[in-house]
Amino acid sequence: MSRTEELLAAAAAAPGFMPADEGLALYAAARAVPVPGPLLEIGSWMGKSALYLAAAAHETGRQVVTVDHHRGSEEHQPGWEYHQPELVDAATGQLDTLPSFRATVHPAEDLVVAVVARSETLAPLWSTPLALLFLDGSHTEESARRDQDAWVAKLAVGGTLAVHDVFPDPADGGQAPFGVYTRVLASGDFTELPGTGSLRVLRRDR
């Protein structure tokens, strides 16, 4: 088994919310990016999508940067639908996904750089043009807009923007990622590429 196959198998087996077909579509989009630069994801959870990106990074000689505060999104907090009590740090009483993330990405530690921070804290310090930006952070309207405003402009011309959990029908899911997708497309700076499921893929043209 090649290393790419090993990373993709690890991604498929990892805990997380990304369906296999969308994960493979993300891998393919990252593998096909024609411009230089790193692959950066906003929102890592336990590292499943980072492994899909790492498989592409391995094949193309890139690095993956993941940005997450590892305290979980709103839906992961106590009393919410996706809360997992076993992820609560007894010392702080807060959710902490960093240990699980590290265990997941262990096979790709040479390819993945993890930044433990809020995306809006890191963004002003970041100057390297991105080859790919994957937006999959908190899905409230405020946080989704904040991630868009902070990071989309850092994508290189010719680079790829991927947005996860885009659901045109509110009955299927939250509307914040759909709002990001529609605003970016309406800017006239992007061309939509083929997507899969709730994953939308766009190329920056200018």
Structure confidence by residue, pLDDT tens digits, 159-189? 999 999 999 999 888 899 999 999 999 999 9
pLDDT tens digits, one per residue of 36-91: 999 999 999 899 999 999 999 999 999 999 999 888 665 655 654 655 666 666 66
pLDDT tens digits, one per residue of 104-138: 999 999 999 999 999 999 999 999 999 999 999 88
Residue 14's alpha-carbon distances to 41, 48, 73, 168, 175, in angstroms, are 17, 5, 19, 27, 26
Active site residues: 139
pLDDT of 174:
80
Of the candidates 59, 54, 21, which has an alpha carbon nearest to the alpha carbon of residue 40?
A: 54
Domain boundaries, the chain: 3-67+106-204
pLDDT of 171:
87
Pick the CATH number of 3-67+106-204 from 1.10.10.10, 3.30.70.260, 3.40.640.10, 3.40.50.150: 3.40.50.150
**Which pTM was predicted?**
0.92
More confident residue, 139 or 187: 187
